[in-house]
Structures are given as structure tokens and as C-alpha cells.
Amino acid sequence: MSPNMLRLRTLMVGIPLALASLAVSAQVTPPGRTLAAQCAQCHGTNGNGPGFDEIAGKSAREIYNELLEMKSRPVEGIMDRQARGYTDEQMRLISEYLSTLPGNGGD
Ligand code: HEC
């Protein structure tokens, strides 16, 4: 078999494998989604209300920093208690997931 034929054969085997793994990864639930479901009761199903402040459509860093601040400041409001229920890693996953949701332009 010529080197070119060999390369072609490798390609033909490789492409369906790559597509199959893409299809599998598309079905995996984003890691922060289940955690963020807890936020829906107050911030709406997709973080867009109706309810309290809109939390979708912000950058992951912005949401994460807000959660970190709420977790570390003295407990005054609802969110300070909410934030204390999560590890920093969980808050990072939640923030990453929420940042993928489109906001509706409100706050
Ligand atoms: C029991 C109701 C409740 C739940 C559950 C809740 N929140 Fe909140 N959240 C609030 C309220 C009320 C405010 C506005 C007052 C405040 O900042 O404390 C707020 C504010 C926020 C803000 C600040 C928004 C801004 O624009 O300043 C962020 C970010 C936030 N919440 C994220 C979350 C995340 C992430 C979750 C889930 C882990 C969550 N919240 C769960 C009630 C809730």
C-alpha cells in the first residue's frame, strides 16, 4: 500500500471516531447545571427571572466574584446564606454554567 493510501485509510477511520466522540460529549449535562438548578427558585429557570436579580448573561468571573464576596461577608441577606452552601469549586462550576445562558438585558 502506498503511503498516500495509508494516510487516506487512517483519515477514513479517524473521522467517524471523532464524530462519534463529539456526539457523546454534546449529550453530557454541563457540570454546573444541576448545581445551578438551586438558583432557579429565586432567579428564574434560566437565571433571567421572574424573581430577584438577573444572573444569566454575565461573565463567569463576575458571577464567581459576586458569590465569593457574598460567601465571605457577614451574613445579612438571603444570598449570603445561599453562597455559604457551596464550595469554591461548586461556585466556579455554577458561574461557568450561568455565563453560557443568554441574559435578557435587565439586572
Ligand atoms: C432564596 C432565594 C435565592 C436563591 C435560592 C438564590 N438567590 Fe441569588 N439573590 C437572591 C436575592 C434576594 C438577591 C438580591 C439581594 C442580594 O444581593 O442579597 C440575589 C442576588 C444574587 C446575585 C447578585 C446579582 C447582582 O446583579 O448583584 C447573584 C450573582 C446571585 N444572586 C447568584 C445566585 C446563585 C448563583 C444562586 C444559586 C447557587 C442563587 N443566587 C440562589 C435570592 C436568591
**pLDDT 10s digits, 8-45:** 777 677 777 676 666 665 668 888 999 999 999 999 98
Domains defined along the chain, listed by start: 30-99 (1.10.760.10)
Q: Is 101 in the pocket of ligand 1 (CB under 6 A)?
A: no
Q: Is 38 in the pocket of ligand 1 (CB under 6 A)?
A: yes
Nearest to 93 by CA among 34, 43, 28: 34
Nearest CA to ligand 1 atom 17: 79
Query: What's the pLDDT at 95?
Result: 97
User: How many CB atoms sit inside 10 A of residue 78's CB?
Assistant: 11
Contact indicator for 78, 39 with CB cutoff of 8 Å: no
Query: What's the pLDDT at 49?
Result: 84
**pLDDT 10s digits, 53-106:** 889 989 999 999 999 999 999 999 999 999 999 999 999 999 999 999 998 765
